[in-house]
Structure 1
Amino acid sequence: MKKFILLFTIVLVAAQIQAQDTTSVKVLKKNIVTVNEEPNKTEVSIMNDKINIQDNNFSDTTTIRVGRRNIEIIEGGSKTYVNMTKAIDSDDNECTWRRYKKKFNGHWSGFEIGVNGFYDTNYSMYDDPTNEFMDLNQSASLEVNLNFVEYNITLVPQRLGIVSGFGLQYNNYKFDNPVTIDKGDDGIIEWLPVDDSNFKKSKLTVSYLTLPIMLEWQIPVNDHSNYFFISGGMVGGLNLGSHTKIKANSSKSKDKGSFNINPFKYSVIGRIGLRDFSVYATYSLSDLFKDNKGPELTPFTIGICLVNF
């Protein structure tokens, strides 16, 4: 229970924004997450570089290293591809992830990918409320989750428990039209047209440090060799940063800023699965943008867990 209480304390006091373009989240003076944004790339290091993410601004490939697994997310013209390989040359002492037997072992830690969307939209604060400039190319608007810490509290051994931990979340909102967004002189989010003669893609990316609180029920199947599980609860998020990215022919541009994103978000979450495979869905109870600083948008995500560790 002490660990469970500690998690809430961490969310309130852990975030520290350092100089220039580096954001660090510390727990007991140790870096849990470090985000370093440079002109040509964005790099994220988690838990002393046990997990490393690199997003090259001049490439359509995001590379993720999780222990001995390498994951590449490649954005094509209209599709996104995910390649997973296993590293050959690795230090097993540093890169092997172990799952310890517990009275109750929940399902949170792992690599997940999902599709983003907006359930409810309201542009009434704009002169033309019919211009829904945040319309998404939904199939290419992906959420990527790296849930790197998991804590479990047993309520009923091998049946019922509380699951929590930490995760790193990337939400990509790929615009369906040749537009991008920026803060206007009045501080309100406005849309800006992009030359559609050479336009290929435009998107908004928002990253969060996440903290779930879920109740999970497990049902043994196949003579107790596997477990079918159902879980639900809440996920809180601390905004770590955001940027827009435009690609036109071979040229690319990236603009970093707050874009009036809410500093905190909270969502309901539900998941269902068998063993290490699961399907999840989240529905946000907070808007993407701050009140009266942009359109009212209610995000949701539907996804799957691809790698469990």
Structure 2
Amino acid sequence: MKQLITFLALAIICTSATAQDSTKKSKSDTIRIGGIIIVKNGKKDNPGKENKDFNITMGRHDNAKKKNANVSTNWWIVDLGFANYTDNTNYTTANTDGYLKNRPGYPTLDKNDFKLRSGKSVNVNVWFFMQRLNLVKHYVNLKYGVGLELNNYRYKSSLSYKEGGTIPYSVGLGANTNAPFIFRDSISFSKNKLAADYLTVPLMLNFTSNPGSHKKGISLSAGVSAGYLYSQRNKQRSSERGKDRNKGDYDLSQFKFSYVAELGLGRIRFYGSYSPQSFYDHSLDMKPYNVGIRFSNW
């Protein structure tokens, strides 16, 4: 009996000592700063001295799940493409209402005079930002932004724009006019383009097959854009006159409404736009469109 009591007493003493040991162990501390995780072990290798043992982990924790933001922003997007238009002008009317001026003894201006050098008629867009707003579990989003739309139409012929004033060949046509007009010039140009620049706001509905990655999957956006014409000019270069730059409104419409679309195939993105309205206010019926490649994160 005494042996049993002695054994139980020793067991109680050992259990108490083990419990006291465990109370002396300090729990490890974890600090998370953004993508950095710092773990302090809290062990004591030397009695009376605190052990400064830290584990530092950079990057996302294995157990943490990355979530898509409901609103994401993409800054400074650039588009490079081609600019052109569909020409449905009634040239009989355009030649009689005074907007097109014809040189005596030369054929009247027609559709052939407004043909473009397709490879040199370019469109460059610079978007200050675009935002994507989650609508349905990041598979369906609202996409919008603000930027500059720059269009350069390079002519094959010797068209010239004037805001008004003296007509170069005024015999039989009147010496002056206050209205803008277009005429066939008497010289050939090595470079002859009409530039039309807009401040544009696009609004699109976006569909994506892989919300978790902009590098994979297929995305499609479609919608409309509204543009304000803030600059237009006729730039020419010739051996006779050198570089010439004329500015004016040229009867171009102040506002531009377009249908816009974007197709993303993994990292590669294409864009397109088409305006159902002519970019001239009167006389000429020319509906502009652009196609090209978009350099964007999503």
**TM-score interval w.r.t. the shorter chain?**
0.5 to 0.7
For residue 57 of structure 1, what is the aligned residue in structure 2?
none
Question: Could you list the runs of 5+ residues in structure 1 that have no partner in the other structure?
Answer: 1-99
Distance 1:183 1:112, change over 3 A: same
Structure 2 length-normalised TM: 0.62
TM-score normalised by length of structure 1: 0.60
The CA deviation at 1:256 is 1.2
* Structure 1 residue 172 displacement after superposition: 0.3
In structure 2, stretches of 5+ residues that fail to align are: 1-66, 97-107, 165-176
Residues 215/106 of structure 1: CA separation in 2 closer, same or farther (3 Å cut): farther
Aligned to 2:270: 279
Q: Give me the whole-angstrom Cα distance separating, in 2, the residues matched to 1:156 and 1:119.
A: 37
Counterpart in the other structure of 2:233? 243
Q: Offset at 1:140? A: 0.5
Q: Is the 8 A contact 1:104 1:157 kept in 2?
A: no
- The answer to which structure has the higher helix fraction is 2
Relative distance call for 1:224 and 1:269 in structure 2 (3 A) is: closer
Question: How far does the alpha carbon of each residue in 1:216-237 deviate from its partner, in whole angstroms, 9 at most, with x for none?
Answer: 0001299996231001000110
Q: CA deviation at 1:121?
A: 2.5
1:299 and 2:279 correspond: no
* 1:175 paired residue number: 155
| Aligned Cα root-mean-square deviation (Å) | 2.8
Higher fraction of strand: 1
> How far apart, in 1, do the equivalents of 2:110 and 2:236 lie?
24
Shift in Å, 1:101 = 5.6
The whole-number CA distance in structure 2 between the counterparts of 1:219 and 1:230 is 9
AA of the residue aligned to 2:70: K
Tell me the distance in 1 between the aligned counterparts of 2:142 and 2:212.
24
Contact residue 149 and residue 200 of structure 2 kept, 8 A: yes
SS of equivalent residue, structure 1 residue 299: strand
- 1:133 alignment partner, SS class: helix
Whose relative contact order is higher, 1 or 2, with alpha carbons under 8 Å and at least 6 apart? 2
Q: Distance in 1 between matches of 2:254 and 2:213?
A: 46
TM-superposed deviation, 1:137: 0.8
The answer on whether the counterparts of 1:113 and 1:305 sit within 8 Å (CA) in structure 2 is yes
Which of residues 154, 162, 165 in structure 1 aligns to 2:142? 162
Rg comparison, structure with higher value: 2
Q: Alignment partner of 2:119: what SS?
A: helix
Residue 130 of structure 1: how far off its partner (Å): 3.2
The sequence identity of aligned pairs, in percent, is 23
